[in-house]
Amino acid sequence: MSQIKLTSYGATGEVTGSCHLLEVNHYKILIDCGLFQGDEENYWKNWREFNFCPEELNAVILTHAHLDHCGRLPKLYDQKYKGKVYATDATRQIAQIILKDSVHIMYEKSAKHRLKPLYSTNAFNQLNRLWQTIDYYQPQPLNSKISFTFYQAGHILGAAIVEIKVENQTIIFTGDIGSENMPLVQNIDYFDRADYVIMEGTYGNRNHEDKKIRNEKLLEAVKRITIKNSTLLIPLFAVERTQDVLKILNDYYESHLDFNVPVFLDSPLATEATRIYQRHLNLLNAEAQETLKTDRDIFSFPHLKITSHIRQSKQINSVPPPKIILAGSGMAEGGRIIHHLARYASRPENNILFMGFQVPGTLGYKILNGAFAFDYYNKSIAIKSVVGQIDGFSTHADQNELLKWLGKFTGKPKKVFLVHGNQEILEEFSKIVKKNLKITAEVVKNNHSIILK
Ligand SMILES: [Zn+2]
């Protein structure tokens, strides 16, 4: 009989730095190796030594391509992990562009603080040799006793729930659980049974606004700036949120061919990510497949302009309103959106529309919560535009959806382990799970081993 042990080294009582080690006797599987993000203090945690020996790992499985799940993979390579990194092909491709985008920020920060870079350029390049892509629903043996299978997580393109089978035991790692009825990704898969579930609980304490109004709210803003002859700024996350918004705008523009307000996609990363979506159309949901029957390119429509080069980005300024600008970053913490905010935010006729949750401390959070001005290269820019937020594009399940997913297990798990959420939220959610579903849910502690069997 095998002993199975779980130890989490990240995303314990917080939402970043996902990193979980599953040991089956001496066989070691790491699930995710993400970056700690947020404030400076959290970011520097990435420089700490791993509490396990990367060289001794037998396999690494990546649930999805967000940086807080994949951001420390090159560091693993630097520390002599030369085994496989298993992921879906979409996850591999998105992780590559996300890591590439994050490298220069990492180098800048380490240089500024006179620290050795988190990982070498060589590790970043060599990581590409380790990928082993696996399709959904294809069981992958790791050794004679252990295998795993990817299922739909419904979170972003390529995101997977990992079901690991060890002899007669089933252990499920949810990664990030998606919200239902999204414009593009398929809904999450349900499971009949598992012995243990390691589950995310980001929104274990709240529910999102009704999804039905999200498209209307977006199109209302589009119509408003058209009437006002003004500018709509949408700070966007490059992956999933951008493609969701493009799809909705695509459907509107394709069915209103006389509507000619230009849309600028002003984010090289989002443009690259969109190309990956275009290469994986088979992974999209039934609604998107339906649109694809009559419209072969659901991310491109009349009056959409891709402004890759910085020169093209600057030329947007000279385009008369009305116009719509989609740019990163999603929380206005950097990227081209900053320059657009500096140019347009002080005009009351303009609109700034955030597509989801803004982390406290970010410029997005400040603007959304009524900041009067922000600092742009030592110049104070007044914020007088109409500011709004659409919550319905969240890529994370809310409390009802998390409970619904867990409630679908007919054979109840022996225990659920909660990760990837604020400590208080996870504690609150564990009580709700016990009360509503009669399942024991434990909030996972950092660097604390749990013997599953
Ligand atoms: Zn994620």
Whether residues 233 and 194 fall in one domain: no
Tens-digit pLDDT profile for residues 293-306: 999 999 999 999 99
CA of 64 to the centre of ligand 1 (A): 7
Residue 20 carries which side chain, given as an amino acid letter?
Answer: H
CA of 417 to the centre of ligand 1 (A): 18
* Site of tokens 């990363």: 269
Which domain range does residue 54 map to? 4-207+395-451
CA of 119 to the centre of ligand 1 (A): 22
CA of 383 to the centre of ligand 1 (A): 30
Residue 348, SS3 per DSSP: coil
Instruction: Say how far apart CA 45 and CA 60 lie, in whole Å.
Output: 21
CA of 169 to the centre of ligand 1 (A): 26
Whether residues 254 and 188 fall in one domain: no
CA of 277 to the centre of ligand 1 (A): 16
CA of 66 to the centre of ligand 1 (A): 5
Instruction: Check which CATH number belongs to the domain holding 141 and give it.
Output: 3.60.15.10
Concatenate the DSSP letters of all residues of 365-382 into one string: HHHHTT-SEEEETTEEEE
Instruction: List b or e across 409-441, with b for residues whose CB sees 16 or more CB atoms inside 10 angstroms.
Output: beebbeebbbbbbbeebbbbbbebbeeebebeb
Last residue of one domain, picked from the residues 371, 389, 407: 389
Instruction: List b or e across 173-199, with b for residues whose CB sees 16 or more CB atoms inside 10 angstroms.
Output: bbbbbbbeebbbbbbbbebeebbbbbb
Instruction: Check which CATH number belongs to the domain holding 358 and give it.
Output: 3.40.50.10890
Tokens of 114: 């006179």
pLDDT band at 210 (very low <50, low <70, confident <90, very high): confident
Whether residues 433 and 352 fall in one domain: no
Tens-digit pLDDT profile for residues 362-374: 899 999 999 999 9
CA of 260 to the centre of ligand 1 (A): 34
Give pLDDT, residue 453. 81
ipTM of the modeled complex: 0.99
CB 85 within 8 A of CB 95: no
* Site of tokens 């030329």: 315
Q: What is the DSSP letter of 156?
A: S
Give pLDDT, residue 184. 97
CA of 39 to the centre of ligand 1 (A): 18
Residue 368 carries which side chain, given as an amino acid letter?
Answer: L
CA of 198 to the centre of ligand 1 (A): 15
Whether residues 228 and 330 fall in one domain: yes
pLDDT band at 160 (very low <50, low <70, confident <90, very high): very high
CA of 19 to the centre of ligand 1 (A): 13
Structural domain count of the chain: 2
Whether residues 310 and 402 fall in one domain: no
pLDDT at residue 77 above 80? yes
Last residue of one domain, picked from the residues 369, 389, 409: 389
Whether residues 424 and 293 fall in one domain: no
Whether residues 59 and 118 fall in one domain: yes
Whether residues 189 and 330 fall in one domain: no
Tens-digit pLDDT profile for residues 322-363: 999 999 999 998 899 999 999 999 999 999 999 988 877 889
All residues with CB under 5 Å from ion ligand 1:
66, 176
pLDDT at residue 182 above 80? yes
CA of 432 to the centre of ligand 1 (A): 23
Whether residues 255 and 157 fall in one domain: no
Whether residues 50 and 162 fall in one domain: yes
Whether residues 381 and 422 fall in one domain: no
Instruction: Say how far apart CA 57 and CA 238 lie, in whole Å.
Output: 32
Whether residues 235 and 192 fall in one domain: no
Last residue of one domain, picked from the residues 339, 368, 389: 389
HSE-CB at 233 with a 13 A cutoff on CA atoms is: 32
